[in-house]
A and B are shown apart, each in its own frame.
Chain A
């Protein structure tokens, strides 16, 4: 059993009359990538800001490595690092100068700076001005900044926002390395399910300031289950093949068949259907965002205003 390094107990927060967070409790363990899901406006960023003590909670206790962030602020901050909203650095200074500012505050030597730069694959570009960095590079520099002091808890707020697929993959690899090799607890918020599925060990779903679901993701990222939409002429025959040969559970909606399938098995299915003389009109992989699934679960988006 690994140690709990981030603990939230009954955290609540109201802005004016609106209750933004309602009795949030969660535990994050060492070496765990913890996904924090929820639609926009569900309180993800507020939670993160409260954990990082950028804003004060109304009630509840937050402990980082056993230190209360309110009462033992300075000790707690020794073990935590985070990026909120955007990785904001001084644009007129070079990447390494930004890192050095932090390094001085935390008594970190040059060796560690190089180490971190290598980890986020920024070595070689560290002397350029931050203003000239691409968004991905900025994101990675922000990560380097938070990793400098070897935090036990790393908190990231929508880190993949605005990144291209290559950037997302790079970020994912870095986070996995940090969590699984160095034992850092990574707490990531996002509203994109696929993204979370690919890297998280555990996911909590937040809606309207309440945690509605906490789920361990057991299938490690290699076996990704995808939702695929099939459009064929002969629906009955297709359903039969899918059920008998692949033991799938297709959902039929008018002309469309929806299946949930591991990505690597999809070519076999298509091949089999083609061999069986089924006329395939289209095979459309569905990358569902959490919002869609979430609104389905909450009966067709009655919370649309949030």
Chain B
């Protein structure tokens, strides 16, 4: 009970300060700064985006290419491989010209044309395929592929599993018309299909396609989940931002805003935490509390709780303002977060996800705040406490980057700073800016439980130190 009253008092003390309110304004301004930055990027990149440049292929271009291939083929000295290559390209281009197909556009027609030429060169009958190409019938093409697949199964050239996997892919392609028409908006669907294929392959063969290593048990679960997730994406038309176009400026804002504002919040909190004990001692107001019937550990606990509460309030306000800005200033829909639990795909809405993401990103702040309070209690000098803590906060990322480059020993994962990036562990399916920029390093490969344990031990040690120092030393 007494602690609650002390806690309320501490909060009143914090909120009555003018600087507290100024700091909230500063944090919100940092969000607007990010908004301005993203809007600026949008403006400058508007004209240079590849998707906006239409590559027009004229018939003359194709004819010129055909001429080039023919002239090359007249060369007597060509080796067998090049000759085959030229012949193939020549045939493909001829078909493009004949059926009026846009070349090099990654569409299903391109795929089919190449396939036809190959079959033709192998001496197969291609009448049926040419018919499909002529009518531009996407469904027929899928049907044909299915037929081929069945044939392969009957001939026992593929396994039962491979058959069903490929059939799933074809079904998906048919259902969601993936590859039927090529445009920037639906490009993500193709990559999703590729991802599913890759996961299927890994599961089928028991070898991770990306790392070429044997699959572990938990990896298996992850792969199965990722297949379900990607199918869910196609079903509900939820683009995967990791693979989609980079023209989603809302997403950019949603990634940059937490990075910036959490940094500002951290500094604000460190400044406040660094003065908790030392400021009160230097102004003498510590006596204000010490002369009340409250044991010192209660006073300390109330102070720590009030800082924690302040962090929560700041992060909550920031995340809500961030959601608001994103909704007001960007036309795009907010990204939702998908995850798999017990084999079921679940969805977190954009607002809730943004708030959760902010809070997870804010967890390390508590650690730096504790560090600042500890220094404040031990040194009783606000300047020392704040400057050391800020230096550690700003420097730890770079220091760890450098350190991890040189030391690849297993123990570096025990360094607390290597365990601070929790967002990638709690939201493994999220688009993460840091891993996009720096790549995942060795240290981030630790599990969530391990990271939390390291952070917990650190926090515990700091708490013991500060309580001991505050309880035993004289208040003067």
Contact = CB atoms under 8 A, between A and B. Distances in A.
Interface string B285-326: 101101111110000000000000000000000000000000
Contacts of B288: 88-90, 101-102, 145
Contact of A55 (B8, B9, B12, B476): B476
Interface string B6-18: 1011001100111
Nearest to B285: A88
A90 B13 contact: yes
B137 to A, nearest CB: 78
B475 interface: yes
Contacts of A84: 287
A86 B288 CA distance: 11
Contacts of A52: 290-291
Contact of A90 (B16, B18, B474, B476): B16
Contact of A105 (B16, B285, B292, B475): B292
B290 A105 contact: no
Contact of B6 (A73, A88, A105): A105
Interface string A223-261: 000000000000000000000000000000000000000
Interface stretch (A36-44, A75-83, A263-271, A296-304): A75-83
A104 B8 contact: yes
A93 B14 CA distance: 11
Given A54-B475, A92-B17, A101-B12, A85 B292 contact: no
B5 interface: yes
B206 interface: no
Given A74-B294, A105-B292, A88 B12 contact: no
A282 B248 CA distance: 95
A107 to B, nearest CB: 8
A63 to B, nearest CB: 15
A128 interface: no
B295 A55 contact: no
A49 interface: yes
A74 B295 contact: yes
B476 A97 contact: no
B343 interface: no
A132 interface: no
Interface string A31-63: 000000000000000000100111110000000
Nearest to A107: B5
Interface in A63-116: 73-78, 80-82, 84-86, 88-93, 97, 100-102, 104-106
B120 interface: no
A105 B9 contact: yes
A102 B17 contact: no
B456 interface: no
Contact of A102 (B284, B290, B292, B476): B292
Contacts of A55: 474-476
B2 interface: yes
A100 B288 CA distance: 12
Interface centre among B284, B285, B291, by most chain A C-beta atoms within 10 angstroms, is B291
Per DSSP, are chain B's interface residues mostly helix, strand or loop, or mixed?
helix
A54 B287 contact: yes
B307 to A, nearest CB: 17
Nearest to A54: B475
B476 A93 contact: no
A81 B293 CA distance: 10
Contacts of B291: 52, 54, 77, 80-82, 146
Contacts of B18: 92
A77 B292 contact: yes
B9 to A, nearest CB: 5
A106 B292 contact: yes
A97 B287 contact: no
Interface residues of A, number: 33
B5 A104 contact: yes
A56 B291 CA distance: 14
Contacts of A49: 474, 476
Contacts of B52: none
Interface string A131-173: 0000000000000011000000000000000000000000000
Nearest to B19: A92
Given A55-B474, A55-B475, A56-B474, A89 B295 contact: no
B293 to A, nearest CB: 4
Given A55-B474, A93-B16, A77 B293 contact: yes
B382 to A, nearest CB: 16
A102 B294 CA distance: 12
Given A54-B474, A54-B476, A90 B285 contact: yes
Contacts of A56: 474
Contacts of B16: 90, 92-93, 97
Contacts of B100: none
Nearest to A75: B293
Nearest to B16: A93
A44 B180 CA distance: 92
Interface in B1-46: 2, 5-6, 8-9, 12-13, 16-18
Interface string B365-408: 00000000000000000000000000000000000000000000
Contacts of A101: 9, 12-13, 288
A104 B16 CA distance: 16
Nearest to A104: B5
A66 B16 CA distance: 38
Given A56-B474, A89-B285, A104-B8, A78 B293 contact: yes
Given A84-B287, A88-B287, 20 more contacts: A49-B476, A52-B290, A53-B290, A73-B295, A74-B294, A74-B295, A77-B292, A77-B294, A78-B293, A81-B291, A82-B291, A88-B284, A88-B288, A90-B285, A90-B288, A92-B17, A93-B13, A93-B16, A105-B9, A105-B294
Interface of B: 2, 5-6, 8-9, 12-13, 16-18, 283-285, 287-288, 290-295, 474-476
The 9 closest A-B pairs by CB, nearest first: A88-B284, A77-B293, A55-B474, A74-B293, A54-B475, A101-B9, A88-B285, A105-B292, A78-B293
21 contacts: A49-B476, A52-B291, A53-B290, A54-B474, A54-B475, A55-B474, A73-B295, A80-B291, A82-B291, A88-B283, A88-B287, A90-B16, A92-B18, A97-B12, A97-B16, A101-B13, A101-B288, A102-B288, A106-B292, A106-B293, A146-B291
